Structure 1
Amino acid sequence: MKNSMKPASDILSPREIEIASSYADGDTYQKIADRLCLAPSTVRTHLATVYRKLEVSSKLALLARLNGDQPSNEDQTDHAAVISELALSLEEALRRERTMAEVLKIISRSHGDIDAVMAAILGFALELCEAEFGVLFEHHGNNRFSASFYRGIPSAFRDWFDEQGAFAPGAQTGLGRMEHTHEVINIFDVRAEKVYHTDDPLRHATAKLGGARSFVAIPMLSGDRLVGAFTIYRQQVRPFSREATELAHTFADQSVIALENARMFSGLRLGN
């Protein structure tokens, strides 16, 4: 009996049923991963297998199959593996487009409420880039930064930043290297770099208080001027891919717009 004629429960494993049902109901990879103690990339791999096994090419078709409907003829193909990959990639691209549109809407309607805007931007970034927490640093010149906005950060790490105020990161830290080069710094494992084996306070706080292993630091630039750094962290060794880094860069650019808008609104208020 072909898979197209069988109910989904006869085709999929219990774990695949659980993941497929959550995804069809609207959960993100990150939410599913957190609940099942998996990596988001593992969730995606399971979903690609589910799409192939059920011979579906969209979330709506997946939901229909889980509810007992038979696939339409257009869903049945000898290239199921290719179709499943293309379907998931398309859904991910559409989700990114919707998120970016929502970010721009939030910025345009914020009227200078920078706290709400940055909370939203960091939240979207963490979800789409599959990261546990994020910090936006403002740059004050003279090699000094302050951690101004947070999302999902462990309380001990946040308290450490609050105690530091404006601080100068070591030259070998991700933040220090980013300031020098104005380039993206992608740290595969914070404990594997030489700076971790020194007495650098930022690197030790990142690893010990934040529990971070992999992170990426994106320079926030206004023209040639460094405005700050957009950083997102994973608490396991899972380096950020080029796609995730590019996505984080887009959020960093939106953060610059939000900061500039907030400063403009603040100037207008002071002038009135």
Structure 2
Amino acid sequence: MSPDEILSPREIEIASAYAQGDTYQAIAARLGIAPSTVRTHLATIYRKLEVSSKLDLHSRLGGALPTSEMLTDHAAVISELALSLEESLRREQALAEVLRIISRSRGDIDTVMSSILGFALDLCEAEFGILFEHGGQGRYAASHTRGIPEPFRDWLDTQGIFTASPRTGLGRLATSHAVVNIYDVRAEEIFQTDDPLRYATAMLGGARSFVAIPMMSGDSLVGAFTIYRQSVRPFGAQATTLAQTFADQSVIALDNARMIGALRQEAPPA
């Protein structure tokens, strides 16, 4: 049977996009679904088409026959292992690409941060992300964003530098300098108060699950690397570890940009 006879129209659309190189994030944005839903579809597609790699998927969509018959009771395991392997390779490639971007940025911090946030959202299956710079005493400013809903972005732009109350995720991070992982921003008691940051996060940003990673330079907190899901899907250990890696790279990028800026100021005029 051909893929068109085996898969639904939605599965064909997702399979074709993934085989052509689109990420979970890109497919999800185009179809208006969550990145995790894209992954669930792909696991089903791999099982139905009896493939175990993106290359096999591309071949099957092009008319090739299955290379082997997968036993029904093993098919789900095989498809899961195949996707997990591809995701592992994608993580390594993304981290290498981020380091390359940082090394060649020449102080262009906007491009670097946009790239870092983009990779983080894709690999952590999150809808939007914000890099907050910390100004001391719980004060923050949103310096870089990616995928953020416009009403929430406008609210942050209007606030400029703001003080996060101690009960918010950013407030807790400022005190503890530790990861803050919130399962559902609407389920915490602070959501029932009039806290402006929590209201904007939940209602203007549509955020539900949220993780904030401290960005440390030595013993000093320089910012918070935050990513958000718009459904209640708590971030697990793997996603949190990935976010920590991207937060660390963000600190490196900021330090590089500051050094380059200082050298340019010190350089004599031509």
Please confirm whether the aligned pair reaches a TM-score higher than 0.5, indicating the same fold: yes
Indicate yes or no: 2:151 matched with 1:156.
yes
2:214 is matched by which residue type in structure 1?
P
Superposed CA deviations along residues 155-198 of structure 1, whole A, max 9, x for unmatched, are 33223222322221000000001111111111121111111111
Q: CA RMSD in A?
A: 1.6
**Which residue of the partner structure matches residue 189 of structure 1?**
184
**Which residue of the partner structure matches residue 127 of structure 2?**
132
Greater mean alpha carbon deviation, residues 12-21 or residues 187-196? 12-21
Alignment check: 8 A CA contact 1:220 1:252 kept:
yes
**Which residue of the partner structure matches residue 109 of structure 1?**
104
Indicate yes or no: 2:41 matched with 1:43.
no
Superposed CA deviations along residues 130-150 of structure 1, whole A, max 9, x for unmatched, are 222211111112222111111
**Which residue of the partner structure matches residue 19 of structure 1?**
14
Indicate yes or no: 2:204 matched with 1:209.
yes
Pairing of 1:42-191 with structure 2 (within 5 A)? 42-72=37-67, 75-78=68-71, 79-191=74-186
Indicate yes or no: 2:266 matched with 1:271.
yes
Structure 1's 57 and 233: CA in aligned 2 closer, same or farther, altered over 3 A? same
| Partner SS, residue 162 of structure 2 | coil
2:105 is matched by which residue type in structure 1?
S
Runs of 4+ in 1 over 4 A off after TM superposition: none
**Which residue of the partner structure matches residue 216 of structure 2?**
221
Alignment check: 8 A CA contact 2:17 2:27 kept:
yes
Q: Structure 2: how far apart are the matches of 1:31 and 1:40?
A: 8
1:148 is matched by which residue type in structure 2?
S
Deviation, structure 1 residue 62: 1.0
Greater mean alpha carbon deviation, residues 217-226 or residues 126-135? 126-135
Greater mean alpha carbon deviation, residues 97-106 or residues 11-20? 11-20
| Partner SS, residue 82 of structure 1 | helix
Alignment check: 8 A CA contact 1:125 1:251 kept:
yes
Q: Structure 1: how far apart are the matches of 2:110 and 2:28?
A: 28
| Partner SS, residue 81 of structure 2 | helix
2:146 is matched by which residue type in structure 1?
R
Structure 1's 12 and 154: CA in aligned 2 closer, same or farther, altered over 3 A? closer
2:221 is matched by which residue type in structure 1?
L
Alignment check: 8 A CA contact 1:56 1:76 kept:
no
Deviation, structure 1 residue 65: 1.1
2:192 is matched by which residue type in structure 1?
H
Deviation, structure 1 residue 33: 2.4
TM-score normalized with structure 2 length: 0.92
Alignment check: 8 A CA contact 2:102 2:112 kept:
yes
| Partner SS, residue 229 of structure 1 | strand
Deviation, structure 1 residue 239: 2.0
| Partner SS, residue 184 of structure 2 | coil
Q: Name the count of aligned residue pairs.
A: 265
Identity level (%)? 70
Deviation, structure 1 residue 256: 0.5
